[in-house]
Every structure is written in C-alpha cells, then in structure tokens.
Chains A and B, each alone.
Chain A
Amino acid sequence: EPEVTQTPSHQVTQMGQEVILRCVPISNHLYFYWYRQILGQKVEFLVSFYNNEISEKSEIFDDQFSVERPDGSNFTLKIRSTKLEDSAMYFCAITDRADPYEQYFGPGTRLTVT
C-alpha cells in the first residue's frame, strides 16, 4: 500500500494570503490527486496530476489554485488568495503501479482561513 505524508497538518491564514500545501509520497506512485472536504460535507475532487501535468480539474479548481512538483518529489497545491470558503481539509491522494485505480489518501492538511 503506497504511503504519503502531508505538511503542514494545520495551517491558519488570513483571507487574501497565499498558502502552499505539500504532499510527499513515500512509496511508488503513479498519479497524484488533491481533494478537499469542507466540514460536514462530501470529499470533493480538485485536480489530478500525471507526468508533470494536470490530467483533470474540477470547477472548484479555478485560477486561484495551482499544482506543481517543484523538485520531482514533493507535490504542492497553492492557493493564491485565500477566501473564507477555502477553509477545509485538503487531502493528497496517490495511486501506485500495482493498482492504478485504488487511491490512497494522505493524513490531510486542515486549512483555516480567518
């Protein structure tokens, strides 16, 4: 089972500030994903990433969001100008080569925008 860590575990930021959430896969990986979960709501897809480019993105993933792999290992999600409604748990997920359909989630980053 592939493993992934995320940093920070909790981020508090003021509205309008930029935040960068990081995902570090520990084991063999194929695809990367970002999901978010607003408190009490469903887990929602944001974006998928393969071979250094975006495969798919949702309508949530607007121009305020971006993803990249700055050093070939970390996978980051940047929110350029945070809004109150961006407050949520953000999960990175990965698949591995053994089963490209199963997605394994990292522990998440709780983002609080004040």
Chain B
Amino acid sequence: QKEVEQNSGPLSVPEGAIASLNCTYSDRVSQSFFWYRQYSGKSPELIMSIYSNGDKEDGRFTAQLNKASQYVSLLIRDSQPSDSATYLCAAPQAHSSASKIIFGSGTRLSIRP
C-alpha cells in the first residue's frame, strides 16, 4: 500500500540554482511532514518539519505543504555541492506522540559544480 511517494531521481541541479524535491501522500498518513537528508552510508538527518498548510522557511530550505492536493515539497536555494544526498520525505502514521514514521523511498539529489 502506497503512502508516501517520491521520485527516486537522480535530480541533477547546477551549483547555485534552486533544487525542488516533491512528495505526494495518501490519506493514510498524518498530515504532518518531515524532510530528512541522508548521505550515503549515514543515518537520516532531520532538516525540516511542517505541520500546517503553506510555506515554512529555514535558512536555504523551504518546505511547502498543500493538504488539498496531498503534496509536500522541499526547495533548496543556492544549492551547494554539500547538498548532494538522498532526501527522504516522511510522515507519521498518525498525529500522535510515538507514532511510527512512514518514509518515502527518497530522491537522490546531485549538485554539479
């Protein structure tokens, strides 16, 4: 059963440009979302969480949530080579403490110098 879907990529973006990562979800998950960054061989690192409709900005990162369209995205401005990683979209199964997180398969992002 599909719950959190991402394009696996790879997505190649030139350094300094905006990288746009997208995720769709079924209504079987909570409508709170997380974006994790995972470097090869490393653990997922939480970079953004978004709980309500609209945009949330944190430094070079902007998360966008559209609950009507069941769509969440992550924009990375002024992309750097260090942003090259796999980005995981994730959502709790239910909006309650201790709820398990459902992960998408991840989008591999490559920033070319």
Q: Which A residues form the contact surface with B (CB < 8 A)?
A: 1, 30-31, 33, 35, 41-45, 48, 50, 55-56, 58, 89, 91, 93, 95, 99-108
Interface size class of B (residues with CB under 8 A): 20 to 34
Q: Choose from A58, A91, A108 the contact partner of B100 (Cβ within 8 Å).
A: A58
* CA A92 to CA B102, docked complex, whole Å: 15
CB distance from B87 to the nearest CB of A (A): 12
Interface of B is mostly: loop
Q: Choose from B88, B97, B102 the contact partner of A31 (Cβ within 8 Å).
A: B97
Contacts of B45 in A (CB 8 A): 105
* CA A101 to CA B28, docked complex, whole Å: 17
Nearest A residue (CB) for B6: A42
CB distance from A5 to the nearest CB of B (A): 11
Question: Would B49 and A105 count as touching, CB distance under 8 A?
Answer: no
Question: Would A45 and B101 count as touching, CB distance under 8 A?
Answer: yes
A101-B92, A102-B46, A103-B46 known; A42+B103 contact, CB < 8 A:
yes
* CA A106 to CA B35, docked complex, whole Å: 16
Q: Choose from A1, A50, A102, A107 the contact partner of B98 (Cβ within 8 Å).
A: A50
Nearest B residue (CB) for A49: B98
CB distance from A100 to the nearest CB of B (A): 4
A101-B32, A102-B46, A104-B46 known; A95+B97 contact, CB < 8 A:
yes
